[in-house]
Chains A and B, each alone.
Chain A
């Protein structure tokens, strides 16, 4: 290795150490690992922005237990190896008593075991797999509803408002979220008397969906097409379906909830419906309205999706738990989170039933008309498939 190169690496290392050494003692540190870059950035970045907004609110109001809160933010780059490293960095280097982050279950699964082992509680604002807490352990909580709940809500919405009896089910078979969502939807929809008349798979990252679209058009005409998709793909899918003449309503889950749907889909995104956590618009509930204006003031743009509000609520939930725990001891914070009863979030009230770490919440259905989002309904499903 050349001497210059050695010097450069040494310098970089020294700078790296300098940053990690910087920390203040009069704050309560809260870990915030998010996939700010990579495939999940369109969901994770808004969630982090929402959390930062809440952070400012809490600190302006005097902080928690007389101390200011401080977010220890890491970009985990949608890479499980980086996530595992960051998890141990948060615990061993930054020594955070509690952390929150991510909007997908794969990331939480990569980080969870390390937090579980260390006995530090972790709340995910947006990973909706209802199986997560049992898969990892008693330190992991969800601040959002589970996929079984939103799929059931979608199924009731299709059968009710859209009067759909025959549904074609298209799913992305490359992620846990989309496969589970499709499974729960089918369970709930057939339980309520509907029929799945056809099904097909594709893989996240595919750019042409001609094969799948031809198959839909070849069979009996469905009333509704349910597409269980990741955020990056749904815009393209909708566009290609509409171009091929599939005009039926397209329904899906909270993966649709990114600006990509209307940006990439354009006119094709009309008559698309999806279940999500909150209706983010100026004419929504008072809590969301206030959040909407504050977010716009802070970042110069509308909140991208409901994950922004979930990030906001999750930090609120943590601050509330620390206040009730009266301490920054991880075990006490965990018990306080588990005991949360009726925390008034802007995405709905959060209560953790005894020994259940997924809250029961109402599902918001959003539709697209004239390339604009509108509130299509609020659903509290009657039948919920087992996780």
Chain B
């Protein structure tokens, strides 16, 4: 596809998303809108996780650590003065004096994650295979412990609350579009090719002059930026969260979305998010029991998790590389498929 055609295709896609975002709240009730918002937030998080985990092959379990940092940093920044006084009385003066609007708070949260990712990634991205997974898991645990013990900033284990509920559908969808465009530009560029070669064979990549550490570190850092942004969106969606919200359970929820969808494509990440979210919501409503008049199925709470687990196992058996594998959605015949 030519550069101009790609540009036009992007504009059209963005316009379609903008149109959908504008009319969706008129078509369906607030509950469905909320599910879509959650999908957009998860989309940002899973796609950015896929950049490092899928494209550079560095299977990090620490992504949610950045999400947590993003949520807390943006939360502290955007808390109102009154809320800061009642919830965080021991905050240092320079922090308690400022209240940022949603967008700057989100961007700052992303940038803080970038700095953190550079510091953490510089040693960790030298590792490969299982070792990097365990080391990044260590990062997640460290973040959790710090959040619990930095009581002056985070209220410790107690729920961090009072964050303004700013994450509307427009914000969430807007950030998803930005994330996808940025990631697609990076992944399908010479830099992206370097990521793939590093993933496929480190020694061969080195032999042709590709530096492994910068490739991995740049992917890790970019992923961390959007993790921070996603964390901010999540925090401003729920309004209250605690360190326990950003731990193992959330990590594995995001990883399952990524693996189900397909780790090696951006479309895969998005498909995974949609499939897992829609399935969980549908099953959650189904398990409340059915009444067909003639016969009724009693409520079976917890059945949804079991069925979801079985579906995941089946997908992994029949499509080990996820629903999309390494393919991307094209725009039908107009755009040719991009193969990794």
Contact = CB atoms under 8 A, between A and B. Distances in A.
Interface stretch (B4-12, B184-192, B237-245): B237-245
**A interface bracket (residues with beta carbon within 8 Å of B):** 35 or more
Contact of B242 (A15, A36, A176, A203): A176
A106 B238 contact: no
A13 B30 CA distance: 18
Contacts of A204: 244
A36 B245 contact: no
Interface stretch (B90-98, B204-212, B277-285): B277-285
A200 to B, nearest CB: 14
B323 interface: yes
Interface string A91-119: 11100000000000110011001000100
Interface of B: 29-31, 34-35, 38, 148, 156-159, 161-162, 165, 237-245, 249, 271, 275, 278-279, 281-291, 299, 301-302, 305, 323
Contacts of A79: 249
28 contacts: A1-B323, A16-B281, A18-B290, A19-B285, A19-B288, A19-B289, A37-B305, A77-B284, A77-B305, A81-B238, A82-B284, A84-B34, A85-B35, A85-B281, A88-B30, A91-B30, A93-B29, A106-B244, A109-B161, A117-B165, A135-B162, A173-B148, A175-B157, A176-B158, A176-B159, A179-B158, A180-B158, A204-B244
Majority-rule SS of A interface residues: helix
Contacts of A117: 165
B34 A85 contact: yes
B284 A75 contact: yes
A87 to B, nearest CB: 9
A88 B240 contact: no
B290 A19 contact: yes
Interface in A146-178: 172-176, 178
A74 B288 contact: yes
Contacts of A9: 275, 278-279, 282
Contacts of A22: 291
Given A85-B34, A135-B162, A110 B282 contact: no
Contacts of A344: none
A89 interface: yes
A258 B146 CA distance: 31
Contacts of A77: 284, 305
A19 B165 contact: no
A19 B285 CA distance: 8
A92 B34 CA distance: 11
Interface in A6-35: 9, 12-13, 15-16, 18-20, 22
A92 B305 contact: no
Given A12-B283, A22-B291, A75-B287, A84 B158 contact: no
A120 to B, nearest CB: 13
Contacts, number: 113
Contact of A179 (B29, B38, B156, B290): B156
B286 A12 contact: yes
A80 B238 contact: yes
A360 interface: no
B149 to A, nearest CB: 8
A-B interface, 8 closest residue pairs, ranked by CB to CB distance from nearest: A36-B301, A75-B301, A37-B302, A176-B158, A109-B240, A92-B29, A92-B30, A89-B31
A73 interface: yes
A281 B305 CA distance: 34
B34 A176 contact: no
Given A105-B159, A109-B240, A20 B30 contact: no
A173 B34 contact: no
Contacts of A109: 159, 161, 239-240
A36 B304 CA distance: 12
B243 A174 contact: yes
Contacts of A180: 158
A9 B275 CA distance: 9
Contact of A176 (B157, B271, B287): B157
Nearest to B290: A19
Contacts of A172: 157
Contacts of B278: 9, 13
A75 B38 contact: no
A202 B108 CA distance: 33
A313 to B, nearest CB: 23
A106 B242 contact: yes
B27 to A, nearest CB: 13
Given A19-B288, A77-B305, A176-B242, A84 B237 contact: yes
Contact of A80 (B35, B241, B281, B285): B241
B251 to A, nearest CB: 14
Nearest to B164: A113
A94 B282 CA distance: 16
Interface string A109-142: 1100100010000000000000000010000000
Contact of B31 (A36, A73, A85): A85
Nearest to A136: B161
Contacts of B240: 80, 106, 109-110, 113
B288 A179 contact: no
A93 B299 CA distance: 19
B242 A173 contact: no
Nearest to A204: B244
Contacts of B299: 73
Contacts of A178: 157
